[in-house]
Structure 1
Amino acid sequence: MRRFAMKALFTALNLSQAERDRINWDRLILVFSTLVTIGLIVLYAYGKATFRW
């Protein structure tokens, strides 16, 4: 029973580390897509303001 508890503990620790990595990737993708969206809105507003579009 003690060996099973240790395996369960190490498995839970490994899963939490993997989940932390996944969250960091999700956050990175979210920030990048937000920056791209804001950049496109700024370009659109600039184009409308200078009558180029």
Structure 2
Amino acid sequence: MHRLAPKALFAIFTMKTAHKRPNWDRIILLGSLAVSAVLVALYAYGRATGRW
């Protein structure tokens, strides 16, 4: 199960876009990944500084 995330990320970043329209699936996936990473970082920062 822990090997799924790196494989999925590699597949996302290596997708080739042959069409000129924006690939909304990819945009939403990368956006949600960024939001999740920021939330995890904020949680870790809060735990480390003792604010939570």
Same fold? TM cut 0.5:
yes
- Between the two structures, name the one with larger relative contact order (CA 8 Å, sep ≥ 6): 2
Gaps of 5+ in 1: 1-16
Structure whose residues are more often helix by fraction: 1
Gaps of 5+ in 2: 1-18
Taking only the aligned residue pairs, the percentage that are identical comes to: 53
Give the structure with higher Rg (CA). Answer: 1
User: TM-score, with normalisation over the residues of structure 2?
Assistant: 0.58
Give the CA RMSD over aligned residues. Answer: 1.8
Q: After the TM superposition, which parts of structure 1 deviate over 3 Å for at least 4 consecutive aligned residues?
A: none
User: TM-score, with normalisation over the residues of structure 1?
Assistant: 0.57
